[in-house]
Amino acid sequence: MNQSIELAFEELQGQGDYPYTLDLRFADSQGDGARAAELLDELYSAGAPAVIGGVTTAEAMAMIEVADQADRVLLSPSASSPRLTGISTNFFRVFPSDFLEGTKMGHFATQTLELDRLVIAAAESEYARGIQQVFAREVERNGAEVVEVIEYPRNTADLGGVIERIVTLASDGVYLADYADGLVTLIQGLEQRGYRGRVLTTSSIAAPEVVAKAGDAIEGVLFTQSNYDVTSEDPQIKTFVTAYRDKYGRSPDLYAAHGYDAMRVYTTALAAGGAPRPGNFWQGMRGITGFPGVTGPIQFDEQGDVQKFPRVYIVRGGELIDFDRVLEERRQGLEERRREIERRMRDLERQRRGLPGKGGG
């Protein structure tokens, strides 16, 4: 995210017609909510009319109180808990709420995969708790059963007991809710224990380095994420991907894309609001309508959320593939097989009647 924000900033500097001279500063709270709140207060005190942050839900929750005290905008690139919806008129986010992601996967698990018995394994964090609760409600609304919810302390070094419990329950599938490191540990452990159910999870794995770290164990894992495709032919996405690769030597993942969009929304709102005062910045944010983000069109509802509807992806051959594409390939394969069977049936009928075949073998 730092890299993509820096890229967007450099692109802005190169345009030459932006009405303000900007100074970009980074502050790293290392995932600690209390430290994030302290740093936010320092940035506001230094004159920042608005700040991009926090990255995690826990950080954002701690920072919002400071934003409200200062009456200044806080724009998160990735905090996603449903609890953040409408929490403050000063809080906005370019990443969709987990309400949409959890609902999408719950519906997919029960309606597309037709799974009847599901286990949930979730870290004890604001993010994981929010998304797993949404998933569970959707599963049960569709008539399937959540056999058990297994919660464990975040950053637990040994998840062997959790893995063993998942395997013992012998469910049709398991939904994993955690940040990347915890997910990798669980996915690898389930593969080693020979778990036979479907493994479903969240957009926390939607990064090439996470997939690479998990290795072969992650093959076939299903997850939800915003409709961002690094291979897209969309001119704006291609320009962003090319610029990021040229600067950093690797492809921008889902989180890099949201960091890039956050910076561009920030500078657009600042320019649109007039003089760079906090109140004007708020008006600029509210005026964002159909902003052409690389993660999709962006505008904020009355609760500060964006409406980006997630899709289901599958890890296949180490790549993140839209599952609709997989279904289409299967449909085409079945259609080709159906036509082949019909051709052979026609040939057999012609042979039965003593006529030459037309199938070419």
Count CB atoms within 10 A of the CB of residue 342. Answer: 10
Looking at residue 361, its pLDDT comes to 44
One domain, residues 115 and 206: yes
> Is residue 169 in a domain?
yes
Provide the CA 117 distance to its chain's centre, in angstroms: 25
Looking at residue 335, its pLDDT comes to 65
Measured distance CA(49)–CA(64) in Å, rounded: 15
> Is residue 54 in a domain?
yes
> Are 133 and 120 contacting, i.e. CB atoms less than 8 angstroms apart?
no
> Are 43 and 51 contacting, i.e. CB atoms less than 8 angstroms apart?
yes
**What total number of domains does the chain contain?**
3
Q: Where in the sequence is the domain holding 195, given as residue range(s)? A: 99-225
User: What b-and-e string marks burial along 108-143, b requiring 16 or more CB atoms within 10 Å of the CB?
Assistant: bbbeebebebbbbbbbebbbbbbbbbbbbebbeeee
Looking at residue 226, its pLDDT comes to 85
Measured distance CA(201)–CA(312) in Å, rounded: 10
Looking at residue 358, its pLDDT comes to 58
Looking at residue 276, its pLDDT comes to 66
One domain, residues 352 and 263: no
Instruction: Write the CATH number for 66.
Output: 3.40.50.2300
- The answer to whether the pTM exceeds 0.85 is no
One domain, residues 69 and 165: no
The secondary structure of 310-331 as a DSSP string is -EEEEEETTEEEEHHHHHHHHH
- Picking from 225, 254, 287, the residue at the C-terminal end of a domain is 225
> Is residue 314 in a domain?
no
Q: What is the pLDDT of residues 280-324, one digit of tens each?
A: 788 889 899 999 999 999 999 999 999 888 999 999 998 888 998
One domain, residues 199 and 91: no
Looking at residue 243, its pLDDT comes to 97
What are the residue ranges in the chain where pLDDT is below 50? 360-361
One domain, residues 246 and 278: yes
